[in-house]
């Protein structure tokens, strides 16, 4: 079981046709990992990026099961939510992945 927290400041550059803008951001992030068993691991990452114009929230949830010595099966769900987006774009993006992971 492990927990890692990160914080920092930065700047976000956004480039859009005819309306470029920059903004300072504050980033808070956490990474949590839980060993469920000898062969299974649960992980959760959360990140918040506070900006003057928009906020971005990120979440990455995954569970990994080792099936062979150097081969694992991973299921992960990644979410990204941005409070202010250009017209015509979605505020939330999701990525769901089912993958095999080979360590070498």
Binding status of residue 3 toward another protein by CB under 8 A? yes
Phi, psi of 83 (to 5 degrees): -70, -35
Q: Which of 38, 40, 48, 97 binds another protein (CB under 8 A)?
A: 97
Q: Does 6 bind another protein (CB under 8 A)?
A: yes
- Contact between 69 and another protein by CB under 8 A: the answer reads no
CA distances from 78 to 17, 22, 96 (A): 28, 26, 6
52 binds another protein (CB under 8 A): no
Please choose, from the candidates 80, 22, 88, the residue with its C-alpha nearest in 3D space to the C-alpha of residue 56: 80
Phi, psi of 92 (to 5 degrees): -120, 130
* 17 part of the interface to another protein, by CB under 8 A: yes
The site for another protein (CB under 8 A) is made up of 1-17, 25, 27, 29, 35, 49, 74, 80, 86, 89-104
């Amino acid at each position: 079981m492990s927990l890692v927290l990160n914080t920092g400041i930065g700047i976000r550059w956004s480039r859009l046709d005819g309306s470029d803008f920059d903004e300072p951001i504050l980033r808070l992030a956490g990474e949590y990992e839980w060993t469920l068993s000898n062969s299974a691991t649960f992980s959760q990452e959360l990140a918040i990026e506070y900006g003057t114009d928009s906020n971005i929230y990120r979440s990455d949830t995954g569970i990994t099961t080792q099936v062979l010595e150097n081969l694992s099966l991973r299921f992960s769900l990644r979410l990204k939510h941005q409070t202010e987006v250009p017209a015509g774009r979605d505020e939330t993006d999701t990525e769901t992945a089912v993958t095999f992971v080979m360590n070498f």
